[in-house]
Chain A
Amino acid sequence: MDNFALRSAMVTQQSSKTSLRSGINFKELMSELGKNVSDYLTSINIDKRNVAVASLNTFWVYELVRDMEPEWLAIIECEHIAQEQILFTHKPNSVLFMSADMLMIPIYKAKFPNSTICTMNNCYLFYAESIIDWQNQDDYEYDVIDREDLGVEKFDMIVAWAWSIVGSDSILLDMVSSLNSGGALLIDCSNHNTKLYREDFHIHPYSRMHDLLKEQDGHTYHLANGYGQTVFIKN
């Protein structure tokens, strides 16, 4: 665990007043989400060798959040605080969540009920609809697109966790294509648990991701807070 990320996350948590502490038990919600998804992944006998050689967030993050120590809770909450900050500041009319976010989508929809919410057809949507009890899921409608629709459909903002897109140039480029003019692409956890700042910077896939973004028509901002946040604003 990176000490700076931990210290800054705990101060962020203590110094902020967000939707995550307003009528919501963040730890309880994340714990339930983690338990249900990790139990499901265990029940289908998923091959964990890939997880063993390098912790894949696709899997291990659910093991982590099911029973978080306060320090991890601060770090996880801090990432969501950063996400809420960008969403509430930009106030997009249409948002594509690359991972069906079971926490942020209901929060955003409650704050901006006229906004259009869309998610990708992937395992995160499956988790949200079938494995966990998605908060207020039945209260509103949302759109779903498939992989081939990315780059065709248009949005004011696209939100993604870096681990779910890294290594695919085409997904990144299609996300940029799917932004309206002036739209924003938000990529959270974009420093790979701070590994981006170590000696393998030049070969790290997250460097490639940023290089590619900088080649696009717009501005790219990488913030080294916590586990990293990258924002691309399309011209």
Chain B
Amino acid sequence: MRRTRSAGGEKAYDAAKHLNSIERELATILYIAGVEFNQISDVEIDDIFFNLRKSFHMSSSTYNQQGKPYYDLTRKQNFLLTNRARHLWLERQVALAAAQNG
């Protein structure tokens, strides 16, 4: 729902809502990549994005944390997903920091 930040009023940024929308979209992307968002740590998430990106450049097989190949993504799909995922990943780090700092 649209909210109004009046002149001189309180800040309108809502870290919790921002984080929620990021993680919902990330979960969708990771599902296509064969990974469940809630079952991996922060470090692993980043490794997955890094490998997805690398697989696009190298056209080589990469594997998820269970040792299984990622779904057979076309180069185009891979490019689309990794670009978006990397953008969301950085946004997520900002949103987490914003939530912690109030």
CB within 8 Å of B: which residues of A? 41, 44, 46-47, 49-51, 53-54, 56, 58-59, 118, 121-123, 125-126, 129-130, 138-149, 153, 163-164, 166-168, 202-205, 208
Contacts and interface: CB of A to CB of B under 8 A. Distances in A.
B50 to A, nearest CB: 6
B5 A146 contact: no
Given A168-B25, A205-B83, A144 B3 contact: yes
Given A53-B54, A143-B2, A121 B17 contact: yes
Interface residues on B, range: 35 or more
Interface string B6-48: 1111011111011001000100000000000000000000100
B49 A129 contact: no
Contacts of A143: 2-5
Q: Which of A54, A149, A153 has the most CB of B within 10 A?
A: A54
A163 B93 CA distance: 17
A152 to B, nearest CB: 9
B53 A54 contact: yes
A164 B87 contact: yes
B11 A58 contact: no
Contacts of A164: 87
Contacts of B63: none
Contacts of A148: 21
Contact of A141 (B5, B85, B89): B5
Contacts of A140: 7
A141 B75 CA distance: 44
Given A50-B49, A121-B18, A122-B91, A56 B4 contact: no
Given A49-B50, A125-B13, A147 B4 contact: no
B41 to A, nearest CB: 13
Given A146-B21, A153-B2, A167 B87 contact: yes
Contacts of B90: 46, 50-51, 56, 58-59, 123
Contact of B87 (A56, A141, A145): A56
A167 B13 contact: no
A41 B96 CA distance: 12
Contacts of A121: 12-14, 17-18, 21
Nearest to A144: B12
Contacts of A53: 50, 53-54, 57
Contacts of B81: 167
Given A58-B91, A146-B21, A149-B2, 15 more contacts: A46-B90, A46-B94, A47-B93, A53-B54, A54-B83, A122-B91, A125-B12, A126-B95, A129-B11, A141-B4, A141-B5, A144-B3, A166-B84, A202-B76, A208-B80
